[in-house]
Amino acid sequence: MGTDRTQRGDDWLEEALRADAREHAAAYLADDGFTASVLARLPQVAALPSWRRPVVALLWLIAGGAVAVALPGLFYDVFRGVIATVFGQPLTVSRIAVALIVLGAFTWSTLIYAAREE
C-alpha cells in the first residue's frame, strides 16, 4: 500500500482494511476452466471457404472470354497494337533489362499472391 493514499490515524479500521487487503491478495482463485471459457467466447476468425480462389479465377476467365467473344474487333486491334508497339521499338540492352525486370516482378508478385495464406 502506498503511503499517500489513506488518511492515517484511522488505526483499527485502517488495520482491518489492510488485513482484508492482505487476505484478498493472498487468496489466488484457481482457474477452474475460466480461461478456457473466455477463449471459447472469443470471436471466430473469418475463415474463407477453400473453393473460393478457384471459383474466382474461373469467373475471371469466363468474363475475359465473354469480352473476347463479344468484342472480337477490339480484341484484335488491341493485340495488333501491342505487337506493333513491342516490335517497333529498337532492341537495346537497357530495354531488354527493363522488360526482364518487369516480367520478373510480375511473375514474383503473382507467385506471392497465389501462395499467400487466407
- What's the chain's Rg over C-alpha atoms? 35
- The least distance separating other proteins from the CB of residue 109, rounded to whole angstroms, comes to 23
Residue 115 binds to other proteins (criterion: CB under 8 A)? no
Q: Mask 59-98, x = binds other proteins (CB under 8 A)?
A: ----------------------------------------
DSSP annotation of 116:
-
Q: Which residue has the cell 471459457?
A: 37
Q: Mask 3-42, x = binds other proteins (CB under 8 A)?
A: -xxxx--xxxx--xxxxxx-xxx-xxx-x--xx-xxx-xx
- The least distance separating other proteins from the CB of residue 112, rounded to whole angstroms, comes to 19
Question: How many C-alpha atoms does 4 have within 13 Å on its Cβ side?
Answer: 0
Q: Which residue has the cell 487466407?
A: 118
Phi, psi (5° rounding) for residue 2?
-70, 160
Tallying the residues shown for the chain, one arrives at 118
Nearer to other proteins, 25 or 115 (CB): 25
Phi, psi (5° rounding) for residue 43?
-60, 140
Q: Which residues bind other proteins (CB under 8 A)?
A: 1-2, 4-7, 10-13, 16-21, 23-25, 27-29, 31, 34-35, 37-39, 41-43, 45
